[in-house]
Amino acid sequence: MAMNTSKAAPTEKELQDIDDWLPITSSRSAKWWYSAFHNVTAMVGAGVLSLPYAMSELGWGPGVAAMILSWVITLYTLWQMVEMHECVPGKRFDRYHELGQHAFGEKLGLWIVVPQQLVVEVGVCIVYMVTGGKSLKKVHDLLRPEHSHPIRTSYFICIFGSAHFLLSQLPNFNSITGVSLAAAVMSLSYSTIAWAASLHHAGKAGPDHAVDYSMTASTSTGRTFNFLSALGDVAFAYAGHNVVLEIQATIPSTPEKPSKKPMWRGVVLAYIVVAICYLPVAFLGYYVFGNAVDDNILITLEKPRWLIAAANLFVVVHVIGSYQIYAMPVFDMLETFLVKKLRFKPGWPLRLIARSLYVAFTMLVGIAIPFFGGLLGFFGGFAFAPTTYFLPCIMWLAIKKPARFSMSWCINWVCIIIGVLLSILAPIGGLRSIIVNYKTYQFFS
């Protein structure tokens, strides 16, 4: 892992060798269905389990509108990113920040995209570290003998994190396709369990079972802030765009067969799965439990015990894959900086140390701040909504320059206005949630 102290700029051959080693550009042999696995794994996170709770704070009308509108807008902005991947003939924008640099300029593009992308990707990795540990603990608690000693969440986060020290050494997106496929299947499985078990619960409760659909907060101020926080939960659930260009970079492309065609096929399949996972869980979970639903529908569903334990185990497998999907672009940024800027020699020792340190960092933050998910509603609001809802639209206007007041121009501006409002309002609700709940937050719990 020797550092090259020479100040000479790397030659074209050296730059090509580095690109052939970096995780995003080292393999371009992916099939269209690889993009479907990766997009499902990136999109359908454990956030789907909080959607019934978000519905309970939004109510039927705004909740249904937010869910369906978010699905339509994010599918549209995802299409834009797929189209812009090769918007310059003979050049591929393999990374989100490269497209940003093309749209906004070399320096400004970096400053606009990279901080937001890192907040999303590192934040999601920490949340999934905590989610994986808590889900493992839930499985243990459901299946352990009655009088056995309880085990702290921190130990389960360590168990979950230890798997990533090994998996993080897989070199690129194509090498984690098997992990991603397993994760995509698991997300469909635990989502199905969530809504099917809700229906089963409704059937057992009988027709006379009363469900309260009123807002949980007693004051108009509380209802307003809870509404805004719920919008942040919906935005978090749909935030999968930060890895789209990096996934498309793995698909081969020629002038006759551009990568956008197989990529779009994979995206459409992924979004059908997203609808199958999100909408039944959100609507049926809220329909059955009303405002009594917990912020994780699997907590509300305590029986049958073996089925809920299985669902939590599926969550563990899924977030293992999701962690790797969101970590891969961070590994790429880290290794690019070490090799191109600091001139370290590329190789497995550098990769082993750099990636292991990143996994250790996310694990330690997860152990120290196991309530990080509550904070992400605030911090993530600044980054999830822009990178998913409206930054692609701004790039489209800057690069494609549609005629003013044309259909494309109007649609993009509607998405930008909705996205900007979301990125302003959601963090307000998230901040209020932190202030209300800070007394319950425990470090190293």
Between CA 335 and CA 22 the distance in angstroms is 7
60-101 per-position pLDDT tens digit: 999 999 999 999 999 999 999 999 999 888 889 999 999 999
pLDDT value, residue 204: 65
Q: How many CA atoms lie within 13 A of 268 on its CB side?
A: 7
Q: What is the rounded CA–CA span in Å between residue 115 and residue 341?
A: 18
- DSSP SS3 for 250: coil
Residues 233-276 have pLDDT tens digits of 888 888 778 889 999 999 999 888 899 999 999 999 999 999 99
Residue 329: in which H helix or E strand, if any?
Answer: helix 305-336
Residues 6+ apart with CB under 8 A from 117: 96, 97, 242, 329, 383, 387
pLDDT at site 263: 95
Each residue of 275-333: pLDDT tens digit? 999 999 999 989 888 888 877 787 777 667 888 888 889 989 999 999 999 999 999 99
Q: Give the rounded percent of residues in the chain with a pLDDT score beyond 70.
A: 93
Beta-carbon contacts of residue 205 (< 8 Å; ≥ 6 apart): none
Rounded-to-integer distance, Cα 253 and Cα 250, Å:
9
Total Cβ atoms within 10 A of residue 78: 24
Domain covering 21-440 assigned CATH 1.10.4160.10 in the classification? yes
Segment 388-398, tens digit of pLDDT: 899 999 999 99
The confidence score (pLDDT) of residue 205 equals: 59
Peptide bond into 304 cis (omega under 30): yes
What's the pLDDT score for residue 203?
A: 67
Q: Where are the domains of the chain?
A: 21-440
Q: Supply the pLDDT for residue 17.
A: 82
For residue 406, pLDDT over 90 is answered with yes
- Overall residue count recorded for the chain in this entry: 445
H helix intervals, 9-105: 12-19, 32-43, 51-58, 60-84, 96-104
The pLDDT value recorded for residue 100 is 94
